[in-house]
Amino acid sequence: MKKLNVKTIIERATDKIVRRVPRRTDTRSEDHRIASYPPPYPKGWYRLADSADVGRGQILQVDCLGKAFAVFRGDQSGEVYVIDAHCPHQGASFANGGRVKHDCVECPFHRWTFNGDGKLITVPGLDRLPPIQTPKYEVREVHGMVWVYHDAQSDQPPPYEPEVHQEIIDGEMIYRGQHDGGVVRMHLIEFAENSVDFQHFLPVHGEMLIPWTQIKVPFMTVSHEPDWTIDPQHGHIAYFDNDAHLKFLGRSIPNSGAKARITIFGPGGLVYFRITIPELGDVLIYQAHLPIEPLKLKVNFRYFASRNIPRPLVSYVVGSWVSQWQADIELWENKIYREKPMLSRIDGPVHKMRNWYQQFYS
């Protein structure tokens, strides 16, 4: 008999109670929303797939960031490469009928072969090759994920690398699972905007929810003490810190506090959360945002935890965050972007965040 984890049990138990209503999109309204936002694809690192999605000798096409990428793993080296998804010769898709040969990808249409750097290697029946190059992209594999660097207006090397957590490499923190957040109709900048919008925490995140659901826990509330800073040594990194604790009927519950540090890495394609549980260790959640169209983000959660933390507690922590994240979705999907917001003195550092964010546009 297949074992069910805590997340699965809760999801099944609440499936009939909590089910998101299918969203209807008004085209004119979406056009108005898109026009209010900055360009949809800021430069930075983005998760294209899990490493397990691209086996040795396999090719995967990923359409996102205004492009189509061919992600393939060498059949000899085992390295992952990313080039344009369509052959520069006559436009055939490498991922549909093509194959990997000797760490190169072969076009299914005319058998032209390109290496991982996008250079033309062979053309059947042709001895002297034309100097044809198809675009290639910087790619990294980090903690079981394939990341690509995107900059629509430059072919320069990435100015920074995806962060590697030594605790995971050393085995002090282990992989505990992942959650598919689906596609959310929002702009990438909204997550960064959310992190400095301190005033929305009480009305939107002030009530405790059952993990993995939107069911409120009666008489239980959450008190937040947020802060937002820029890393003094790494200008592409910003931190959102939150010191939270629970209240019952308005009274603080002793020893219910938890500290969370949310790292916004670049424009927000990669965000990760470190939640410290006293005397047990940390839970580390990778939240990846991949813009697949203007105002459409594919969201994925992948999480790790210290070995000492029991699996049910890890699921509780991750599920609690996912529930709070879901509470913002309806707002994100229906708002516009105010270039000149009418702020009050009690609002968070919105202008400071926006000035920081400008570095991700050429």
Show the low-confidence residues of the chain (pLDDT under 70).
1-26
Do 210 and 260 belong to one domain? yes
For 203-256, the pLDDT digits (tens) are 898 888 999 999 999 998 888 888 999 999 999 999 999 888 788 888 888 877
Predicted TM-score (pTM) of the model is 0.90
Residue 232 shares a structural domain with residue 143? no
Residue 14 lies in a domain: no
Domain edge (last residue) among 150, 182, 214: 150
SS (H, E, C) 181-208: EEEECCCCHHHHHHHHCHHHHHHHHCEE
Distance (Å, whole) CA 213 – CA 320: 8
**Residue 3 forms part of a structural domain:** no
Nearest by Cα to 278 from 261, 256, 263, 248:
256
Write out the residue range of the structural domain in which residue 130 sits.
Answer: 44-150
Cα gap 322→182, rounded to integer Å: 12
Which residue, 150, 179, 211, sits at the end of a domain?
Answer: 150
pLDDT for residue 23? 54
Task: State residue 164's pLDDT score.
Answer: 94
- CATH code assigned at 100: 2.102.10.10
Distance (Å, whole) CA 200 – CA 228? 14
User: pLDDT tens digit string along 4-49?
Assistant: 565 555 545 444 334 444 455 567 789 999 999 999 999 999 999 9
What pLDDT was estimated at residue 156?
Answer: 86
Residue 255 falls inside a structural domain: yes
CB 216 within 8 A of CB 208: yes
- Whether 36 contacts 337, CB under 8 Å: yes
* pLDDT for the residue 18: 40
Read off the tokens for 62. 């990923």
Helix (H, G, I), strand (E, B) or coil at 170: coil
How far is residue 347's CA from residue 106's CA, in Å, rounded to a whole number? 55
Enter the DSSP assignment of 253: P
pLDDT at 73: 98
What letter represents residue 305's amino acid? A
**Total domains, the chain:** 2
For residues 259 and 345, membership in a common domain is answered with: yes
In a domain, 190, yes or no: yes
pLDDT of residue 3: 56
Residue where a domain stops, chosen among 121, 150, 179: 150
What pLDDT sits at residue 276?
Answer: 87
Continuous segment of H or E residues that includes residue 10: helix 6-14
